[in-house]
Structure 1
């Protein structure tokens, strides 16, 4: 660790899994310490002590690999800020030269505080319940994505075996997956026989005799089609079906854990009173949005991707177009949940009709309603209280 004997006003950390690169600059912008520090509590504490009490700690990753550095900085009483990756890249590209090293990145992160403080994001301390909800929501997203990929992969395997069989198998049906998980593909089912097939389907539950006969017929027809079957088809069908069943069981457990965490959350209960906001949307908002970081509903709308993107250059006509960025999960939930407001008599249903009367298409009108409703959501998250329909 290179030191020059002066305390730092800003400590920039280019965080990594095994180690970080630390760069400290004083109030005049001079580099006073620079070097690699292991991602361990004692080593992080040592570099914080070298930087001096009160030094602003700026990180480029606020969770995962950066979580320990943020926690130790807070424990030492240092203020902490976050530099988004896109802003870091833009600042690094503005520097002379084309090199990209940990040392350069750490210095760019440190110099962002005095040079471009508006690009830094404050890091509010996360309450344990909020952290739990965020972790559970992240795991639920992972579970949902993994289940979708497993189902699509199973469809690909079955489609290669027999298109008619792929059409007959429903990856969302538990007993269909139970049969494939225990017996395997068409050739395995034909070898096992109809009696074992029927016993497995009955034991899995939910299989009527007619439905069981239809699936057996599709499997038997595929096995007797005369097409040479690859030996791996049965093994892949078993593996993928087991994965789908496991993930199907994991998702309800995660939702139950989230519901238990949110049961006593006042913000969550108040959000449920907003028209069109259900448990899924309310949970996503509580998990993903720290409203203290958004001083206005415009900032929150931009983060959620429901604010229109203005465009103007020189004497060109100013125009607005749909925003392409933002938090895609929140954006989809906020927009498509507005479908339930169409035809209702509340303020948002009436606003949808006004948008349609101005010749706006359905999707554009939904986005406009989502933007209007987000003002109410922001206000409720700032000061939790149940929604009240204004007097017409």
Structure 2
């Protein structure tokens, strides 16, 4: 345990710093500007202290960088843990000063709540920056798709049911013409010209889909076309950018042993492999059970005496990794051999598809852990 902890409630322009000793004495509680000189001055006064922040990225990045530059140890107290720990202290005020004190004293009293913050190196740091942009574009695309489906459903439910927003030619069709009614007005020949290479039957079905619906007023159709063209164009642009970023991340990690070995695991593609490689320092996890807990794949046990006992799915953990690990197992459900057989046995025991898929992801995580720990390719 360190002799002292510097708890930083980080902020955009300034942080609140609380320096507490192992005995619980507060040596310093003051705001510190989010500038290199001010942070260096603070860390210079307590060179042997452990620096703990409540955000490890964005507004907390500079503080961690200056702590590493000073040769100090650093750690991260997740927001949920800090919020829960705050209830253990007297008072219910929500101030930067109190939050910094909670961070510092929690780090001293409950060190298991802390997560390590290592130096990833320039390659992983660059890959993380690209992955953050990819995640942003993915979220934006999800919002755009939901909005586009809402517009199409209100106008022509039959058209909305048939359209595939992951299909490039269909997006190109809507970006050029607009919504269902303008596509129908253009006719099969023009629609085919705008979607060369697409399945003709699907495009013709889209053109004919409006026959069972009542056409709205011309002004409504014009307003719909404007929104549909914009959203379809943005979805296409974002999808292309996501593919380009994924390729760039793969090129960055080409020389990373962990990334290359992860690509040999069944169901793991470039996106999932890159997220695992840049998000997880396997040395921080002494077992696959700890990694499963971090990824949200470990069950949550509830037990009281001998009368109450249950095992339910956990809603905690890294949601992005959890979703990638579960959904990437879809391609394994119909395969022959170890993974397909395990999924089939889960289904035969009465599990739903979702539960069986999560169980399969948990089983495969044991392999992922071993591959990342030993940096060796998967061998069936």
Report the TM-score when normalising by structure 1: 0.83
* Whole-angstrom CA distance in 2 between matches of 1:387 and 1:169: 39
Higher Cα Rg, which structure: 1
Partner of 1:101: 95
Q: Which runs of 5+ in 2 are unaligned?
A: none
Report the TM-score when normalising by structure 2: 0.86
Per-residue deviation, 1:143:
1.7
* Whole-angstrom CA distance in 2 between matches of 1:316 and 1:47: 53
Partner of 1:81: 75
Say whether the 8 Å CA contact 1:88–1:109 is kept in structure 2. yes
* Whole-angstrom CA distance in 1 between matches of 2:361 and 2:71: 40
After superposition, the Cα gap between the structure-2 partners of 1:74 and 1:163, relative to the gap in structure 1 and judged at 3 Å, is same
* Whole-angstrom CA distance in 2 between matches of 1:155 and 1:357: 36
- Higher deviation after alignment, 290-299 or 169-178: 169-178
Per-residue deviation, 1:332:
3.0
Partner of 2:217: 227
Structure 1 residues 293-349: Cα deviation after superposition (integer angstroms, max 9, x where no partner): 212111101111222222211232433222222223322333344444446564445
After superposition, the Cα gap between the structure-2 partners of 1:334 and 1:240, relative to the gap in structure 1 and judged at 3 Å, is closer
Structure 1 residues 250-297: Cα deviation after superposition (integer angstroms, max 9, x where no partner): 121112112212222211221222333333332222132221221211
Matches within 5 A, 1:167-186: 167=161, 169-185=163-179
* Whole-angstrom CA distance in 1 between matches of 2:251 and 2:277: 14
Say whether the 8 Å CA contact 1:338–1:370 is kept in structure 2. yes
Structure 1 residues 192-248: Cα deviation after superposition (integer angstroms, max 9, x where no partner): x859x97797366436887766656668998x9363533532322232122122112
Partner of 1:262: 253
Say whether the 8 Å CA contact 1:22–1:34 is kept in structure 2. yes
Structure 1 residues 58-112: Cα deviation after superposition (integer angstroms, max 9, x where no partner): 1111111100000001101111111111111122111111111000001111112
Q: Are 2:240 and 1:246 equivalent residues in the alignment?
A: no
Question: Which SS does the other structure have where 2:51 is aligned?
Answer: strand
Q: Are 2:361 and 1:367 equivalent residues in the alignment?
A: no
Q: Are 2:258 and 1:271 equivalent residues in the alignment?
A: no
Question: Which SS does the other structure have where 1:382 is aligned?
Answer: helix
After superposition, the Cα gap between the structure-2 partners of 1:288 and 1:234, relative to the gap in structure 1 and judged at 3 Å, is same
After superposition, the Cα gap between the structure-2 partners of 1:285 and 1:92, relative to the gap in structure 1 and judged at 3 Å, is same
- Higher deviation after alignment, 115-124 or 273-282: 273-282
* Whole-angstrom CA distance in 2 between matches of 1:319 and 1:311: 5
Say whether the 8 Å CA contact 2:141–2:238 is kept in structure 1. yes
Counterpart among 266, 283, 288 of residue 297 in structure 1: 288
After superposition, the Cα gap between the structure-2 partners of 1:363 and 1:149, relative to the gap in structure 1 and judged at 3 Å, is closer
Say whether the 8 Å CA contact 1:178–1:200 is kept in structure 2. no
* Whole-angstrom CA distance in 2 between matches of 1:70 and 1:152: 38
* Whole-angstrom CA distance in 2 between matches of 1:335 and 1:381: 18
* Whole-angstrom CA distance in 2 between matches of 1:126 and 1:103: 30
Partner of 2:66: 72
How many pairs does the alignment contain? 377
Q: Which runs of 5+ in 1 are unaligned?
A: 1-7
- Higher deviation after alignment, 333-342 or 270-279: 333-342
* Whole-angstrom CA distance in 2 between matches of 1:153 and 1:290: 37
* RMSD value, Cα: 3.2
* Whole-angstrom CA distance in 1 between matches of 2:165 and 2:82: 43
Partner of 2:369: 378
